[in-house]
Amino acid sequence: MTDVRIAGVGLTRFGRHADRTGRDLFAEAALAAREEAGAPRDDFEAVHYGNFMGALAERQGHQGPLVAEAAGLDAPATRHESACASSGVAVREAVRGIRSGEHDVLLAGGMERMTNLDTAAVTESLAIAADELFEVRAGMTFPGAYALMARAYFEEFGGTREDLAHVASKNHANAVANEYAQYRREVSVEEALDSPPVADPLHLMDSCPITDGASAVVLVSDEYAEEHGIDAPVAVSGTGQGGDKFALQDRRWLNRTPAARTAAEAAYDDAGIGPSDVDVAEVHDCFTIAEVLALEGLGLYDRGEAVGAARRGETTRDGRLPVNLSGGLKAKGHPVGATGCAQVVEMARLLRGDHPNSDAVPDARVGVTHNAGGTVASAVVHVLEVRG
Amino acid sequence: MTDVRIAGVGLTRFGRHADRTGRDLFAEAALAAREEAGAPRDDFEAVHYGNFMGALAERQGHQGPLVAEAAGLDAPATRHESACASSGVAVREAVRGIRSGEHDVLLAGGMERMTNLDTAAVTESLAIAADELFEVRAGMTFPGAYALMARAYFEEFGGTREDLAHVASKNHANAVANEYAQYRREVSVEEALDSPPVADPLHLMDSCPITDGASAVVLVSDEYAEEHGIDAPVAVSGTGQGGDKFALQDRRWLNRTPAARTAAEAAYDDAGIGPSDVDVAEVHDCFTIAEVLALEGLGLYDRGEAVGAARRGETTRDGRLPVNLSGGLKAKGHPVGATGCAQVVEMARLLRGDHPNSDAVPDARVGVTHNAGGTVASAVVHVLEVRG
């Protein structure tokens, strides 16, 4: 089967870009990815793009052809939306297009604008990722939902706010070196513990920020890379997607994420690996508890074991399995529609050795990215591997 | 290569369902399609779903897992959005999933709620399919944009309002027998001509209505159909997608739709047919002029020739190439996100022989569906064929 190679990657700095349009942000990321790949514009056969709340933030739907044009491409373009997993899905659709033999050169990516809205409007806009009838109208917000998940986790498996504070502190430490990160500053465990409460047990420093940004990757078949002399040592060797009941109330568990488990098992099978082969991971830490749930969903930890991972130093940059060396959603930022592809960008650079934190994983061969939508009603997992 | 078969189809009646939720509408269509197909629920491997303006109409994003659950399925689900071509894209993604050998049983479909909004809100919501910065803020609406396209067509190729009135009259005549259509009544050419002006030269009877509705198809591989004894005589033998500059002002022509041409050529190549093989067509007549542009984009007519097709009786139910036997968007209705898949549903029934208008095309073997987004900045074309 065709091997899918990452030929180029691009990001905007994540942060506040309230004065720039979405098309402008995406163009920056896409043109960076295109420049690195070097593939001629006419070779691009499709654009797969993720965006979540553009209808509310920019009054702009139908962004597929809009951003293809911004990226300088004529290729057919589709927007995929799966809440915070939107560009994870976009990357997945591109991977499938090359895998099937249909395409050789594709652009995938995502973009979100959020900071142009006031905080109340952002909160209301994010809420459309939850069930309007049975969650949002009852007052549910995402901090509240993840707080429920944290409480259910603590109740069944143990764990403390201090465990979660270690996750925040770890991810902030990782972001310091990342020039694309929104918050490049250390946060101590004490500072995280002392930050204002948001929804008990989650505090401000358990929560990712509101962010603008864009991400893009150029994916090519290995045949195309070889033929055109493109240096593309990292492959997307596995892809998987999972779903769950939409509303939390309809789930069997609040403290497990079967959608992530389904996606991970599919991606591992696809790549022919198992969780024990994973050297490094980028996971969807929209809240600190989400990183814990992700590590268990990915099978990297047994149930109830991941909550202490950061505290024990296992997932820190000098640990046995560094997690969120980019800084994660927590410190790098979370421009919703850009996040899933951005994880792939960061992982590709980590594995290629040109990420500022690559020195933490000099021998890494296998990385996994985990992108979740809503309260993990949807999840996309990718396996990236160094070839050659 | 795997042959993609249509194992089941479902529709809601198109029209006014302001008192029903989107999930309820989609469930009706999806369960009808599932019942017809008979495939066990656990065999479904993914759901591909189209919706355009749910963030505005229902404050509901992340509809993939929501509608999968409404359809009684656990499978991973993705929403695809390409304005009025959203569920055309959804069907296409499903077709690609089976073609690639990845999947055997998929649900594709779409839904839109519109009539719960007042007319001004619907107009503003539809406008997000156009360029917010360079079209919408300048006052562009879709009737205005298609009026420009009609004027440019008349200017270069000739044609009159009466030609367009024949398109409306034809499609209304076709809708009379269709129990799913919004407007099941005849409209004479005179009535169409005398209807109130909307944007010169387009009048009310040149314009599709505002509609709620849902559509769904179950697609299976031919191996699965055979193995499970599923009677699925119609195949999706070709799929294609095309794009264009997003805003009208950036296009070379206002009176041609290269995105449709690209999509059609790809779909014909994929199916191994040419336009002369097409027996019957469902095209995206959001305005009467759009049907004309579609027939030329599909290569079914030379440039400048399609405008008189309905008047000459070539595309009427007793013509050589019946077009929009469903009633089209014009009379059947246009619940945006449901339309592309609904065209596939109607065409499948026409070819199977169980559509109320199948008697107009008793020998038809090859049908084509044409679904367009915005001012045809995006287009999806499918070829359906009778097997056996």
CA distance B239 to B48: 15
Whole-number average pLDDT of chain A: 97
Task: Give kind and range of the element (H or E) at residue A385.
Answer: strand A378-386
Residues of B with Cβ-Cβ distance to A64 under 8 angstroms: 81-82, 243, 378
CA distance A118 to A137: 20
Answer whether B79 sits within 8 Å of A82, measured CB to CB: yes
Instruction: Using CB atoms within 10 Å of the CB of residue A42, give its burial: 0 to 12 exposed, 13 to 18 middle, 19+ buried.
Output: exposed
Q: pLDDT by residue (tens digit) across A159-210? A: 999 999 999 999 999 999 999 999 999 999 999 999 999 999 999 999 999 9
Angle (CA) B336 A94 B94, round 5°: 50
Name the amino acid, one letter, at A271: A
CA distance A249 to A245: 9
Alpha carbon A161 to its chain's center: 24
Q: What is the pLDDT of residue B86?
A: 98
Choose among B62, B93, B378: nearest Cβ to A65.
B378
What count of other Cβ atoms lies within 10 Å of the Cβ of residue B228? Answer: 17
Instruction: Give A174 to chain B, closest Cα distance, Å.
Output: 30
Residues of B with Cβ-Cβ distance to A133 under 8 angstroms: 21
Q: What is the pLDDT of residue B388?
A: 78
- Pairing outcome for strands B280-282 and B366-373: parallel
Residues 6+ apart with CB under 8 A from B269: B238, B240
Answer whether A77 sits within 8 Å of B46, measured CB to CB: no
Assess whether pLDDT exceeds 80 at residue A88. yes
Measure the N-to-C terminal CA separation of chain A; round to a whole number of Å.
17
Q: What is the pLDDT of residue A388?
A: 78
Alpha carbon A229 to its chain's center: 29
pLDDT in tens, chain B (388 residues): 799 999 999 999 999 999 999 999 999 999 999 999 999 999 999 999 999 999 999 999 999 999 999 999 999 999 999 999 999 999 999 999 999 888 999 999 999 999 999 999 999 999 999 999 999 999 999 999 999 999 999 999 999 999 999 999 999 999 999 999 999 999 999 999 999 999 999 999 999 999 999 999 999 999 999 999 999 999 999 999 999 999 999 999 999 999 999 999 999 999 999 999 999 999 999 999 999 999 999 999 999 999 999 999 999 999 999 999 999 999 999 999 999 999 999 999 999 999 999 999 999 999 999 999 999 999 999 999 999 7
Interface test with B, best of A246, A269, A382 (most B CBs within 10 A): A246
Joined tokens for residue B227: 């193995």
Q: Residue ranges of the alpha helices (H) in chain B? A: 22-37, 54-57, 63-70, 86-99, 119-126, 142-157, 161-175, 189-194, 222-227, 258-271, 288-297, 328-332, 336-352
Angle, helix A336-352 to helix A86-99, in steps of 10 degrees: 60
Assess whether pLDDT exceeds 90 at residue A139. yes
Angle (CA) B26 B28 B30, round 5°: 65
Is the CA virtual torsion B275, B280, B286, B287 positive or negative? positive
Largest CA distance in chain A: 57
Q: Which of A23, A20, A12 is nearest to B131 (CA)?
A: A23
Assess whether pLDDT exceeds 90 at residue A233. yes
Known catalytic membership, residue A166: no
Instruction: Give B106 to chain A, closest Cα distance, Å.
Output: 14
Q: Which residue of B has its CA nearest to A378?
A: B65
| Active-site residue (options: A17, A48, A84, A382) | A84
Residue range A241-269: average pLDDT?
97
A326 near A293, Cβ under 8 Å? no
What count of other Cβ atoms lies within 10 Å of the Cβ of residue B384? Answer: 27
Residues of A with Cβ-Cβ distance to B270 under 8 angstroms: none
Residues of A with Cβ-Cβ distance to B68 under 8 angstroms: 243
Q: Does ipTM top 0.90?
A: yes
Known catalytic membership, residue B84: yes
Answer whether B246 sits within 8 Å of A62, measured CB to CB: yes
Q: What is the pLDDT of residue A98?
A: 95
Answer whether A59 sits within 8 Å of B89, measured CB to CB: no
Q: Residue ranges of the alpha helices (H) in A131-221? A: 142-157, 161-175, 189-194
Q: What is the pLDDT of residue A188?
A: 98
Which letter, b or e, does each residue of A60-96 get, where b requires 16 or more Cβ atoms within 10 Å of its Cβ?
Answer: bbbbbbbbbbbbebbbbbbbbbbbbbbbbbbbbbbbb
A341 near A215, Cβ under 8 Å? yes
Q: What is the pLDDT of residue B100?
A: 86
- Side-chain-side CA neighbours of A93 within 13 Å: the count stands at 37
Residues of A with Cβ-Cβ distance to B59 under 8 angstroms: 124, 127-128, 132, 136
Q: What is the pLDDT of residue A1?
A: 76
Q: What is the pLDDT of residue B372?
A: 98
Alpha carbon A340 to its chain's center: 3
What domains, with CATH codes, occur in chain B? 4-117+209-381 (3.40.47.10)
